[in-house]
């Protein structure tokens, strides 16, 4: 009886005792092995759109972050308020710089982890002197980025929940739309030419995860890269549906995007069957460009709406004849 009572006390003590922090080993996207004594809690983000937003969604709120400066000089997190509702003005996240982060400010915060993106300006060699540092390559997509961050912060369960929701939304959209039957295209005007991506961030990931087909011009672009082509190639980008990510954070928004296309090719809509049939879809770049599950969810909804069934009275426009885009 005494031994039984002692065992009960030991088991009760174990249940009540705090969990022993587990060490975490991460191999980041530069092939570096980073070991943390425990899942990170005091995290500094060196990139708002591709690191800070995923951390917020995972429930691993960073203590400080890179950001941008608005015209009035106030700092903000690009796309974050749209996708998470969180920004510098309504959270305890400290602003540590725009083009480059303030290393002295970072040191004063005593982080237990710094997360940077592979294209960022501040050398990782400087960051790792202040705290363990991991490097992510956001071009590998949201699931990859979130898996890496979840492992470093102990938020694996939240990552699985977010990914599960996205997969369910994707499955519903695929059943409704039948992606394998449709050709889609994503491009945008850029200084008098057309900027074309093999896969454009959140919208590109959704389209490729779903199994849509693309024009040969896009399929020939190496994975993760983009090309700039002249306006004469516009017909080569035609598809059943075209998605054009416009700068929603700038004056005139979608109207400015349409005007830019018109300046390049007057009457450009005539040269694209997708446009003539009302399926040239302008989508907010501030959301489409984000590597976040919130952005993926938004893009699934947009794609499903753009390609979903239309009422019986819907008619496509006749194809014009004798049109040719003038050489520039």
What ranges do the domains of the chain cover? 19-155, 163-307
Cβ contact 64:94 at 8 Å: yes
How many other CB atoms are found less than 10 A from the CB of residue 188?
20
Longest dimension (CA), the chain: 99
**Mean pLDDT in consecutive groups of 10 residues from the start of the chain, 328 residues:** 45 48 90 96 97 98 97 95 97 95 97 96 94 95 96 98 98 96 96 94 96 97 93 96 91 93 95 94 94 96 91 70 70
Dihedral pair phi/psi, residue 134, rounded to 5°: -115, 145
Predicted local distance difference test score (pLDDT) of residue 315: 65
How many Cβ atoms are within 10 Å of 1's Cβ, its own excluded?
5
- HSE-up of residue 246 (Cα within 13 Å, Cβ side): 18
Closest to 56 measured CA to CA, from 144, 145, 140: 145
Architecture category of domain 163-307 in CATH: 3-Layer(aba) Sandwich (3.40)
Alpha helices (runs of H) in 59-199, residue ranges in sequence order: 80-83, 103-109, 124-127, 142-153, 156-177
What is this structure's pTM?
Answer: 0.87
Same fold across 19-155 and 163-307: yes
Instruction: Give the pLDDT score at 65.
Output: 98
Report residue 174 CA to chain centroid gap.
20
pLDDT at 260: 95
What dihedral angle (degrees, nearest 10) is formed by the CA atoms of 196, 224, 201, 208? Answer: 90
- Rounded CA-CA distance 173/123 in Å is 41
Measured distance CA(115)–CA(131) in Å, rounded? 10
Q: Is 85 helix (H, G, I), strand (E, B) or coil?
A: coil
The DSSP symbol for 102 reads -
Task: Map residue 241 onto helix, strand or coil.
Answer: strand
Which residues, including other chains, have CB under 8 Å from residue 53's CB and lie 6 or more apart?
Answer: 77, 79, 80, 83, 84, 290, 291, 292, 294
Closest of 192, 150, 304 to residue 241, by C-alpha: 304
Residue with tokens 């939240």: 158
pLDDT for residue 39 = 97
For residue 252, the model assigns a pLDDT of 86
Closest CA to 45 of 5, 84, 12, 11: 84
DSSP, collapsed to helix, strand or coil, labels residue 244 as strand
Domain 19-155 has CATH 3.40.50.1980: yes
């Amino acid at each position: 009886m005494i031994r039984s009572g002692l065992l009960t006390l030991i088991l009760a003590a174990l249940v009540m005792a705090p969990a022993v922090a587990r060490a975490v080993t991460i191999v980041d996207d530069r092939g570096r092995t980073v070991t943390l004594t425990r899942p990170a809690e005091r995290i500094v983000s060196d990139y708002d759109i591709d690191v800070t937003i995923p951390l917020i969604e995972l429930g691993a709120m960073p203590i400080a972050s890179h950001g941008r400066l608005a015209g009035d000089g106030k700092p903000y997190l690009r796309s974050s308020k749209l996708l998470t509702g969180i920004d510098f003005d309504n959270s305890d996240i400290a602003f540590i710089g725009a083009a480059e982060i303030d290393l002295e400010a970072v040191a004063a915060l005593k982080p237990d982890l710094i997360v940077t993106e592979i294209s960022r300006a501040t050398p990782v060699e400087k960051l790792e002197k202040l705290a363990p540092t991991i490097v992510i390559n956001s071009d590998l997509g949201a699931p990859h980025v979130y898996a890496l961050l979840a492992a470093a912060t102990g938020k694996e369960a939240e990552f699985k929940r977010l990914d599960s929701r996205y997969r369910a939304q994707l499955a519903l959209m695929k059943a409704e739309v039948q992606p394998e039957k449709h050709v889609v295209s994503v491009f945008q005007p850029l200084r008098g030419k057309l900027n074309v991506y093999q896969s454009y961030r959140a919208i590109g990931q959704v389209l490729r995860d779903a199994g849509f087909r693309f024009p040969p011009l896009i399929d020939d672009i190496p994975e993760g890269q983009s090309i700039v082509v002249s306006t004469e190639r516009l017909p080569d980008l035609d598809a059943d549906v075209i998605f054009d990510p416009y700068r929603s954070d700038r004056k005139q928004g979608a109207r400015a995007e349409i005007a830019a296309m018109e300046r390049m090719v007057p009457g450009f809509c005539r040269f694209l069957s997708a446009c003539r049939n009302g399926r040239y879809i302008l989508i907010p770049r501030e959301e489409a460009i984000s590597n976040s599950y919130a952005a993926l969810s938004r893009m699934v909804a947009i794609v499903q709406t753009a390609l979903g069934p239309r009422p019986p009275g819907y008619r496509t426009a006749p194809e014009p004849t004798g049109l040719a885009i003038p050489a520039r």
